Structure 1
């Protein structure tokens, strides 16, 4: 059962554009709005550090690991912002740019651009690009500490080594991939799909498994830092699959019940198995998401009431702070209970 103990509010600000995405790294939080306004806020106080416009609207935003650079993507292209001098470089390619991901070293960023993925340096110079996929690239993720890039598009996930236009490994699946998650160990590649399934490949040998039967499309997937737990939407319950040992084949997930419609998922950094979820009802829930046994139905251990609008995005600013964006433009930072208190 959830408790009445509140998460302390660190700050509360309002933005003029309806938020669609958050990113938090170091002492910065970035928020992207549907109409293309991107704002960079101070983690401690919520004060605005910088802002710029992405023509055509925004879809995703991602700060580099050292918080020195930021990339924002949208329907018509992408933009890069540099903290050192505030320079913003906007690239209006006319190609749908649905995703971006920084390599672990923070020196390269992969950006979806139509049917290709582009790999850029931190200031936006193109280093290499993939060959065209069968359709628009919908998501991408780095593997092997940035030595390999996984790219999802209709029909397959393709992996590219550095500077290789042609894929070095292909993981086929006939369907539309909406989300991609790669285990931090590099062992598993997972896609959430339009056909209401999760498809899993073992990266080493391409062994595969499909978890089907979700009532809705699966558009959000997230591995925790250990790579042993995968959280997914696709149902009123968040499902959490156990990838330890030989993986989830033949097992049942834990079910986390709080929201009628899930709109955001974010694992707390570290190995504690703590997850934050947000819903269209505006509620944020905190979970011991790995408690109990397979088939267990869990209840939140904390709940945060919203503003009346749906939750747009969540981002952990380290293990002790949780940023929440609501669709009415409210951005709030909460202090998270200690791991033992939660």
Structure 2
């Protein structure tokens, strides 16, 4: 694909890691680049220099820095780990349970999917509490109500837990296998991406629900923008963007974004400006004014470019810096202008 529109993109830095990246997360001046085989590189956002390397035996599936950048949580096929920036040591490394999701609830607690349970830990790795076993492996975790309530996905629905509650205090049922979880920053909506190629949506205030069917593939990536009014999802080949403003998406049609054969990564630009970055298996990186046009519109990228290799993960390190990692281990930070071309 050729460039759709001219865009002044400057490379801030570029480095390489010795693995195929599966996750990138950036916050507080750091970028975590997690490799499939079990090494995570912590980089300086300004220079790309390696600050530390952290290992998780058996491989990595998820990586998240704490909001203050002082800790890094990793999850993988055989367990989880927590690293401290202050001491440059791994505070905890536990094996034995599949961990595909980790999520910080502020700077003081961490939720970890651990087999059929979710664990809540302190930053130094001490366990605060654990949920009772779910019907299947916990596939995703998220926080709501200002990080006072934990939500998890597993077979047959979403379950919510209060502090120190092993049993769910609220359940949002939907028959099937749930792969991804997204909660609106407003707290109004909980959404799951599902193996049956659907998105299921619940209103948190009353449990009212609806299902978005018709996708050609499973939904493994869901993301709300900072306003909580727009939800982006995969489901190949199109990205769909649903409008959650007003009464929500029921009875509406999504914007559709097509530039990829299969979507490999997507992330909203911070700040609620309606800009989405996406990447695909064919090697295209695209930027979208994803909330433009009318409901049901098919949007063209505001900018798209072909890369040497497919991007496997990307993350925004603030509103002007986009970090991408391709499957051969090249990590690049691109500085972008405030506005996309029209």
Assess same fold via TM > 0.5: yes
Contact 2:156 2:177 in 1 (8 A): yes
Work out the CA distance in 1 between the residues paired with 2:148 and 2:341. Answer: 38
Residue aligning to 1:288: 289
Residue aligning to 1:269: 270
SS in structure 2 at match of 1:160: strand
Instruction: State which drifts further: 298-307 or 200-209.
Output: 298-307
Residue aligning to 2:69: 67
Contact 1:55 1:92 in 2 (8 A): no
Q: How many residues align?
A: 340
- CA deviations on 1:197-255 (whole Å, 9 max, x unpaired) are 00001111110000001000010000000000000000211100000000000000000
Work out the CA distance in 2 between the residues paired with 1:302 and 1:34. Answer: 29
Instruction: State whether structure 2 residue 25 is matched by structure 1 residue 36.
Output: no
- CA deviations on 1:161-186 (whole Å, 9 max, x unpaired) are 11111111000111101100000011
Stretches of structure 2 lacking an aligned partner (at least 5 in a row) = none
Work out the CA distance in 2 between the residues paired with 1:156 and 1:219. Answer: 15
- CA deviations on 1:14-40 (whole Å, 9 max, x unpaired) are 110110000000210001101001110
Shift of 1:85: 1.2
Instruction: State which drifts further: 84-93 or 111-120.
Output: 84-93
SS in structure 1 at match of 2:98: coil
Work out the CA distance in 1 between the residues paired with 2:340 and 2:304. Answer: 17
Contact 1:35 1:57 in 2 (8 A): yes
Instruction: State whether structure 2 residue 200 is matched by structure 1 residue 199.
Output: yes
Instruction: State whether structure 2 residue 85 is matched by structure 1 residue 83.
Output: yes
Work out the CA distance in 2 between the residues paired with 1:85 and 1:231. Answer: 38
SS in structure 2 at match of 1:71: strand
Work out the CA distance in 2 between the residues paired with 1:184 and 1:292. Answer: 23
Moved over 2 A (4+): 89-93, 339-342
TM-score for the superposition, normalised by structure 2: 0.97
Shift of 1:6: 4.1
**Counterparts of residues 57-206 of structure 1 (less than 5 Å):** 57-103=59-105, 105-206=106-207
Shift of 1:13: 0.7
Contact 2:6 2:341 in 1 (8 A): no
Residue aligning to 2:254: 253
Work out the CA distance in 2 between the residues paired with 1:229 and 1:220. Answer: 14
- CA deviations on 1:132-165 (whole Å, 9 max, x unpaired) are 1000000010001101000000111000011111
**Counterparts of residues 310-325 of structure 1 (less than 5 Å):** 310-325=310-325
Work out the CA distance in 2 between the residues paired with 1:292 and 1:122. Answer: 43
Contact 1:7 1:304 in 2 (8 A): no
RMSD of the alignment, in Å? 1.1
Contact 1:54 1:90 in 2 (8 A): no
Work out the CA distance in 1 between the residues paired with 2:49 and 2:258. Answer: 35
Shift of 1:337: 1.5
Shift of 1:53: 1.3
Instruction: State whether structure 2 residue 20 is matched by structure 1 residue 11.
Output: no
SS in structure 1 at match of 2:5: coil
Contact 2:152 2:159 in 1 (8 A): yes
Shift of 1:89: 2.7
Work out the CA distance in 1 between the residues paired with 2:7 and 2:55. Answer: 39
Work out the CA distance in 2 between the residues paired with 1:169 and 1:49. Answer: 41
TM-score for the superposition, normalised by structure 1: 0.97
Shift of 1:332: 0.4
Contact 1:272 1:339 in 2 (8 A): no
Contact 2:92 2:124 in 1 (8 A): no
Work out the CA distance in 2 between the residues paired with 1:340 and 1:21. Answer: 26
Stretches of structure 1 lacking an aligned partner (at least 5 in a row) = none
